[in-house]
Amino acid sequence: MEMEPVIKLSAGVSKWDIRQKVWDYIENKNLADFPRPVHNRIPNFKGAAHASEKLPSLQEFRKAEVIKINPDAPQKNARFLTLEARKTLLVPTPRLRSGLFNKIIPPPGATKDILRICSTSQGVKDYSVPIGLDAKVHVDLVVVGSVAVSEKGWRIGKGEGFADMEFAMMASMGAVNEDTVIVTTVHDCQVVDIPEELVDDHDLTVDYILTPTRVIKTKCTRPKPLGIIWSKVSREMLERIPILKNLLYREAQTGKDVSLKDEQQSLPEENNRPSTGKIRANKTPMVRDADSVRTGHNSTENDEMQAKSVACDPASAITTVYIGNIPQDIRVSELKHALRERDALPLRLNWHGAQRRAFLDYKDLVTAEHMVSSLAGLSIGGKTLRAELAKKQKNKSAVNQYAERTV
């Protein structure tokens, strides 16, 4: 039986809007446990242990031998219950820095108290061994956290994509398949009406939602991601998650198309230019502009070179957007996720966290102006960011005028 969601969503909301509404509601209603604030986290909500206590009632849990559970605080009791039931527990490596997941191995004759310690983040470090990509593992059940979830099974995480990526990586190594059951534990207020148009092919859907008061079977029929969609992976993500490089190499060896998101996006732009016999990314304007941001160098010779480049190829006129009023405790990764939600990822991001600002490079003035409009009203950490063309664009305008006179 469906219940009316506590948090109402307006038409046209984005994933980031939904996250902010849920985070704000949990904080304002004092529904959060440590760590706080819950913003930019999988919320540790009051009643998380009670929600997890419904896990053993699921037939899929009773049948499962190997269970993978995320390392977040609200799923701590789910990890304990899995160990108490003498099942094999796999926990993802935090932020996938050194591998995919670890197998928790409690000491022989471990008491409940020891098992509870094994269920903590420190226990995962002290009582586990890493599981490599070549391990022959079959995961029967997956438990994830969520920021928001719908009764139809649509799920929204904190925006970093790790749960989606973990499942896709497990699928690539044959550890999970389309029949693998996905469970999430959330507070009742986190169950909202997520618009289906926000759900992408790489998004992980859930089969069961456990709350402190309910067990919801979603009957979701949308396919789960059965492998990494490389066109959704950025080069920045590849550098941040070393194990991804290993998987990319393996899949490239099999002949699979492993073109990354950055490469996919550059092709239409390149194809619209006069043919030169081969496709090559035009990196010169980006490098030159990045150098000017970094050093402040502005010689007449460079201005003339840039002016001629702009006049001959307007598409290469890198334009910078200034982002201000960034909260002091916000990390660059959180800004990137917010930009991604607004489809506003730049060619390059210059981060000045200490000054609470950042500079975003876009391919031309038209794109930059469009992004300024898209970022209007963007809020992170309870503060509305300031987005506008950077002051140096005034200098660029003068350069354009110079170009018109000299080229």
- What structural domains does the chain harbor? 15-217 (3.40.50.10420), 230-260 (no CATH), 284-406 (3.30.70.330)
Cα separation, 365 vs 387, in Å, equals: 14
Mean pLDDT of 384-390: 87
pLDDT at 340: 86
pLDDT at 315: 40
Lowest mean pLDDT of 28-42, 83-97, 206-220, name the range. Answer: 83-97
pLDDT at 160: 75
Say yes or no to pLDDT of 333 above 50: yes
316/159: higher pLDDT = 159
Mean pLDDT of 188-199: 94
Mean pLDDT of 187-196: 95
Mean pLDDT of 321-325: 90
Mean pLDDT of 109-120: 94
pLDDT at 276: 33
pLDDT at 182: 96
Express each pLDDT in 249-298 by its tens digit.
888 888 888 888 766 444 343 333 333 333 233 333 333 333 333 333 33
Please, which pLDDT band fits residue 399 given cuts at 50, 70 and 90?
very low
* 3-state secondary structure labels for all residues of the chain: CCCCCCCCCCCCCCHHHHHHHHHHHHHHCCCECCCCCCCCCCCCECCHHHHHCCHHHCHHHHHCCEEEECCCHHHHHHHHHHHHCCCEEEEECHHHCCCCEEEECCCCCCCHHHHHHHCCHHHHHHCEEEECCCCCCCCCEEEECCCEECCCCCEECCCCCHHHHHHHHHHHCCCCCCCCEEEEECCHHHECCCCHHHCCCCCCCCCEEECCCCEEECCCCCCCCCCCCHHHCCHHHHHHCHHHHHHHHHHHHCCCCCCCHHHHHHHHHHHCCCCCCCCCCCCHHHHHHHHHHHHCCCCHHHHHHHHHHHHHCHHHCCEEEEEECCCCCCCHHHHHHHHHHCCCCCCEEEEEHHHCEEEEEECCHHHHHHHHHHCCCCEECCEECEEEECCHHHHHHHHHHHHHHHC
Judge contact between 129 and 105, C-beta under 8 A: yes
Lowest mean pLDDT of 87-91, 144-148, 335-339, 363-367, name the range. Answer: 363-367
Lowest mean pLDDT of 46-60, 275-289, 298-312, name the range. Answer: 275-289
358/279: higher pLDDT = 358
Please, which pLDDT band fits residue 170 given cuts at 50, 70 and 90?
confident
Judge contact between 307 and 397, C-beta under 8 A: no
Say yes or no to pLDDT of 76 above 90: yes
pLDDT at 271: 36
Please, which pLDDT band fits residue 95 given cuts at 50, 70 and 90?
low
Say yes or no to pLDDT of 47 above 50: yes
Q: Which residues 6+ apart lie within 8 Å of 301 measured at CB?
A: none
Q: Which residues 6+ apart lie within 8 Å of 103 measured at CB?
A: 88, 89, 90, 128, 129, 130, 131
Mean pLDDT of 57-61: 97
Please, which pLDDT band fits residue 311 given cuts at 50, 70 and 90?
very low
Highest mean pLDDT pick, 148-162, 176-190, 295-309? 176-190
Say yes or no to pLDDT of 22 above 60: yes
Judge contact between 158 and 19, C-beta under 8 A: yes
405/204: higher pLDDT = 204
Q: Mean pLDDT over all residues of the chain?
A: 80
Mean pLDDT of 54-60: 97
Mean pLDDT of 92-118: 85
Highest mean pLDDT pick, 79-93, 225-239, 389-403? 79-93
Mean pLDDT of 160-186: 87
φ, ψ for residue 305, nearest 5 deg: -65, -45
